[in-house]
Amino acid sequence: MLGLEKKDFQLLLVVAGLTLLAPFILNPFPESSGMAQFNAGYPDLMQRFVIFGIFAIGFNILFGLTGYLSFGHAAFLGIGSYGAIWMMKLISLNVIPAIFMAIIVAGIFALAVGFITLRRSGIYFSILTLAFAQMSYALAYSVLTPITGGETGLQIKSSDSPLFSNLEEGEIGRANLFGMDMRASFELNIGDWLFTFNAGYYIAAIAMLASFYLAIRIFRSPFGMMLRAIKSNQTRMSYTGLNPRPHTLAAFVISGMYAGLAGGLMVAMDTQVGPERMFWTASGEVVLMTILGGVGTLIGPVLGAGAIKYMENILSKINKDVLHEWFAFLPDGLEDLLVTIIYPFIGKGWHLTLGILFMLVVIYLPGGLVEGGQRIARALRGKKANDEDGPKASTEPAE
């Protein structure tokens, strides 16, 4: 189906199902429950899950397949965002042209950056990409302020009059898809549960599924095999008469275009762009997402992006008052002790929890969350097989 092998098609169906049912899956607790704090099924966060999933999928095509670690991928995210916002300010408030402009601008910039940085490999390549990202950030922050808005960034204003729009004088335009507002939502109440279905989320989700499908095709293609050969032994590949540079440059540009798509979708969901999207911490974040989920795997980067964004938006909101509510049934002394122990790992200290999780994954699960899931599945299959075989399984000699 769709040119995919059975296993890959099943994986695509699983991802599509999870994406479609996300409003239900991410809201497991009723609104009146104290555990509702952990619900993540609201539009802004769901949009971030899929948008940063696209960003991480694209980064994984470069890092996971070729082994080239870029520390400056946020530059393409920012460049794509600026391209999208200017398309919306000047041409149309329809998100489709803006998204295509973001992809094109990011791809052209990635071609220029890759042509220079891919002359080196290893840590030298990583530092070069970081340098380009920081230069881009500095230009956006201070030098190119008429184009980028400087520190305050850009947003759609009442003075903007896109070419293809019917705005009244003084009206602030809104991002739309052929007239459908990106913020349009439908709420479904079932008992104490509240589920929100947002138009912007599902548009971003469709883009993520298309990106995921394309990534599968790249991974399974001869081009993907060439990229794996580059990662395995680039010198040996050169000895066979094959030039690795065009392939690495193509992977770099494709990865940059994925980042541009993510940047364009961010503008479509929230029509505001600032230079902070190009800062080095944003580049480091996508590296963490990919490693945490599983480098070189298909679904790993999406899982890693979801895990980090969940911690950033859910754990960071838990404060001492919430902890005291949770442990109010305990004696005062024990309650205060537990709050004192747990508080450094939540709220503003959620980065500490992320750091510990990242270290544990790197040390014990080099394949990321995907490897963890595979180990659990193997353990369950082994236990099931033992239960079915009964006592005879333990009496058979080992081979």
- 8 Å CB contact between 265 and 201: no
Question: What is the helix (H) or strand (E) element at residue 38, kind and residue range?
Answer: none
Query: CA 209 to CA 24: how far, in whole Å?
Result: 18
What contacts 24+ positions apart, CB below 8 Å, involve 86-92? Answer: 86/147, 86/154, 88/156, 88/162, 88/173, 88/175, 88/267, 88/271, 89/154, 89/156, 89/160, 89/162, 90/160, 90/162, 90/163, 91/162, 91/163, 91/164, 92/162, 92/163, 92/164, 92/165
Does the structure show a pLDDT above 90 at 389? no
Q: CA separation (Å) from 77 to 55, 166, 334, 369, 379? A: 8, 30, 47, 25, 40
pLDDT at position 393 is 43
Percent of the chain scored above 90 by pLDDT? 57
Query: CA-CA distance, 39 to 24, in Å (whole number)?
Result: 10
Q: Within the chain, where are the H helices? A: 6-20, 22-25, 43-66, 74-90, 95-117, 122-138, 145-148, 199-220, 222-239, 244-269, 280-293, 300-313, 320-326, 332-342, 350-364, 368-389, 392-395
| Residue type, position 9, single letter | F
| Packing angle of the helix pair 244-269, 74-90 (nearest 10 deg) | 50
The pLDDT score that the predictor gives to residue 398 is 37
How much is the pTM? 0.91
Euclidean distance between CA atoms 197 and 100, whole angstroms: 25
- pLDDT tens track for 307-348: 999 999 998 888 888 888 888 888 888 988 998 999 999 888
For the chain, the structural domain boundaries read 6-278
Distances (CA, A) of 375 to 50, 225, 365, 366, 383: 26, 26, 10, 12, 12
Q: In sequence order, which residues have a C-beta less than 8 Å from that of residue 292 and are 6 or more positions away?
A: 303, 304, 307, 308, 357, 358, 361, 368, 369
pLDDT per position as a tens digit, 235-263: 888 888 888 899 999 999 999 999 999 99
Q: Does pLDDT of 97 surpass 70?
A: yes
69: left (phi over 0), alpha (psi -120 to 50) or beta: beta
Percent residues over pLDDT 70 in the chain: 96
> What's the CA angle centered on 117, arms 111 and 123, to 5 degrees?
140
> Does residue 370 have a pLDDT over 50?
yes
Residue 380: partners with Cβ closer than 8 Å, 6 or more residues away: none
Of 278, 296, 280, 281, the residue nearest 142 (C-alpha): 278
The token pair at 77 is 């995210």
* pLDDT value, residue 390: 57
Burial classification of residue 70, based on how many CB atoms lie within 10 Å of its CB (0-12 exposed, 13-18 middle, 19 or more buried): buried
Question: How far is 110 from 104, CA to CA, in rounded Å?
Answer: 10
Q: What is the pLDDT of residue 388?
A: 63
Cα separation, 355 vs 22, in Å, equals 27
CATH code reported for the domain at 6-278: 1.10.3470
Alpha-carbon torsion 173, 179, 182, 185, what sign? positive
Q: How far apart are CA 383 and CA 363, in angstroms?
A: 26
Confidence of residue 162 (pLDDT cuts 50, 70, 90): confident
